[in-house]
Amino acid sequence: MSKRVYSYGEKKKHWQRVQIVLLCIAFFFVIYSCFTFFVFSMRVALSNSMQPGVHAKDRFIFSSYEFYTPDLQRGSIVLANMGEEDDRGIFMKFLDAFVRFWTLQRVDIGGRDVFFYLKRVIALPGDEVSMTNFVARIKKKDSPYHITEFELSEQHYEVIIPQVPAIWDTSLPFSGTIEPLILGENEYFLLSDDRSNTNDSRTWGPVPLKRIIGTALFRYWPLTRIGKP
């Protein structure tokens, strides 16, 4: 079987094509990294705490609050960082973006994703919030009326209400009962759509704005549920 011999000219053209492909990939990655650092981020839902609307492994595009103060809306799904402040330098952040890019968001540098939680904004600064039977009631600032979370929400959503024994102590974090609480300046009340044993403001308390690092803009995977969450 004869072996094909490439001429110098063919080898040169082949190497030029490889260089062009590599440059295109590098250029795309730089653009992608700049956007994910300054404009948006891509995240994977790590749990089923936001069922029935969001499932584990759903993938989202989030807005980034790196350089501006967001105007959060009731009912929005947000990403909360409940771990330590990210003090990594620019190089490590770009390296993290590189790893995420080539692993399709499956791997991150430093394992910080375990401290990132998808939650729904239930109440805003100045609101009075309480809960009965796992449904939040909100009294807006300067309003005399208590209204359910669904009536005030900017978005439609459903929640999973667990069945608990009648003798369940209402003082426990996941009892479904919360005494009236007034949110301070830049404080938000975040809840899971699945109201069973999941971490949210029932255990954390009000979440300060600096802990909220993005709002879900678009679900791009799976294709059967693509669109605005």
pLDDT category at 16 given cuts 50, 70, 90 is: confident
Quote the pLDDT of residue 70: 81
pTM, rounded to two decimals: 0.78
Statement: residue 12 has pLDDT above 80: no
Chain centroid, CA 138 distance in Å: 23
Q: Which of 23, 29, 22, 28 is nearest to 99 (CA)?
A: 29
Closest CA to 226 of 217, 218, 56: 218
Q: What is the pLDDT of residues 46-73, one digit of tens each?
A: 899 999 999 999 999 898 776 667 889 9
Per-residue model confidence (pLDDT) at position 193: 96
Domains of the chain: 39-86+112-225 (2.10.109.10)
